[in-house]
Structure 1
Amino acid sequence: MSGQFEPLPGGGAAVALDDVEISIIRSLAVQLLELIGPGPAEDASDDPLAELFAEGPSEPPSDPVLRRLFPDAYGDPQGTPQAREAEEQREYSAEFRRYTENDLRAGKREGALAVIRALDGVTSASAGGAVLKLSADESRQWLGTLNDLRLAIGSRLDIADEDDTDLLYRLPDDDPRKPMVMAYLWLGGLQESLVATLLP
């Protein structure tokens, strides 16, 4: 089972992780939390209706990783739009971002925290490694966070398409990107095996 999620009877998934693997995932999840930023301030309104209509940012993040995690909602998939269309797309994207990004950030923050809590639970249970068991709901949270981690690493590695991934396999061992590449590929295998456990 090592390194691959397997389905549990009645739903959910399990994976055997050693201490190094636990440490890597936990560290990446903590870095993701730091990148996403803190939740609402302590002086935020306790009114759920006000919170529901609280406005977020309207501009895309400046960090390329955050732009990958929180992309513009509107864009022309066929290429560069005309100037007027581009301006309309920017306006639509700004409006969409204003009312959705806070919730998206909260969801990603919640997923990363769930991963950290699950890993903290297994590290205290045994030395040298452990079998992590997730419910179906926890598996979906993990899937989202594994995807976010891969998007973040992929952005730092400038991976835009499948051809870029193929080039990573051929990096020499002394390339400084190699550890990040290995983490990216390993997380991809974890993600793929977790997806398989969630299929009917």
Structure 2
Amino acid sequence: MPGTFEPLPGGGAAVALDYVEISIIRSLAVQLLELIGPGPTEEAPADPLAELFAEGPSEPPADPVLRRLFPDAYSDPEQAPASPGAAEEQRAHSAEFRRFTENDLRAGKRENALSVIRSLDELGSAGEDETVLSLSSEESRHWLGALNDLRLAIGARLEIADEDDTDLLYRLSDEDPRKPMVMAYLWLGGLQETLVSTLMP
């Protein structure tokens, strides 16, 4: 089980993590939360209907990581628009879509990261020994979303655009300053892959 998720009887998943691994995942989840930004303040009126129709931003984020986490809905970076008019139309549709969906997307990603932090905090101090983290089916889905977001965020910082870029990561020298980030990216990918397997029927 070390380093890989395994299914639990009745649903959910479990993985053995040591203190360093717990610290890394928790730190990354906290950084992701800070990047996504805070949710509604406690003083905000608890009106679900108003919150449902609250408008979000219409422009893409300036930060490349946030652009990876919240991409435009109506544009394909690998395909150029047929005409300038088509490009303008794509931007208008993307802005409208973003305005009514990004707040919900941010809330979902925020909840996923919070679920990771809470479940790790419940483990207490693991010391140097491995501790088994057991997740319910719902917690597993939150973890899967958070692991995906963490890999997207790290991939954006590493400027990974396709599989060829990923292959290059394996050939980096140990002296390359990107090496720790690459190791985290690959490790989280392994965790994500095994967690997907546990959730498949």
TM-score, with structure 2 as normaliser: 0.96
Ranges of 4+ aligned residues in structure 1 off by more than 3 Å = none
Alignment of 1:179-190 (within 5 A): 179-190=180-191
**Can you list the C-alpha shifts for 1:91-135, whole angstroms capped at 9, x where unaligned?**
1000000000000000000000000000001134x4333100001
- Over the residues paired in the alignment, what is the CA RMSD in angstroms? 1.1
For 1:152, the equivalent position in structure 2 comes to 153
- Secondary structure in structure 1 of the residue aligned to 2:40: coil
Residue 105 in structure 1 maps to residue 106 in structure 2: yes
Alignment of 1:69-88 (within 5 A): 69-76=69-76, 79-81=79-81, 82-88=83-89
For 1:65, the equivalent position in structure 2 comes to 65
Residue 55 in structure 1 maps to residue 63 in structure 2: no
For 1:3, the equivalent position in structure 2 comes to 3
Contact 1:123 1:130 in 2 (8 A): no
Aligned partner of 1:25: which letter?
A: I
1:48 Cα shift?
A: 1.0
1:166 Cα shift?
A: 0.4
For 2:32, the equivalent position in structure 1 comes to 32
**Can you list the C-alpha shifts for 1:39-59, whole angstroms capped at 9, x where unaligned?**
012332221111110000000
Distance in 2 separating the partners of 1:193 and 1:76: 30
Q: Percent identity?
A: 79
For 2:120, the equivalent position in structure 1 comes to 119
Aligned partner of 1:197: which letter?
A: T
Distance in 2 separating the partners of 1:116 and 1:183: 17
Distance in 1 separating the partners of 2:74 and 2:147: 25
TM-score, with structure 1 as normaliser: 0.97
1:77 Cα shift?
A: 6.2
- Secondary structure in structure 1 of the residue aligned to 2:122: helix
1:146 Cα shift?
A: 0.1
Closer, same or farther: CA 114–186 of 1 in aligned 2, 3 Å: same
Distance in 1 separating the partners of 2:28 and 2:76: 32
Distance in 2 separating the partners of 1:100 and 1:42: 21
Structure 2: runs of 5+ lacking an equivalent: none
Distance in 2 separating the partners of 1:135 and 1:20: 23
**Can you list the C-alpha shifts for 1:22-77, whole angstroms capped at 9, x where unaligned?**
00000000000000000012332221111110000000000000000000010146
Contact 1:19 1:123 in 2 (8 A): no
Contact 1:26 1:119 in 2 (8 A): yes
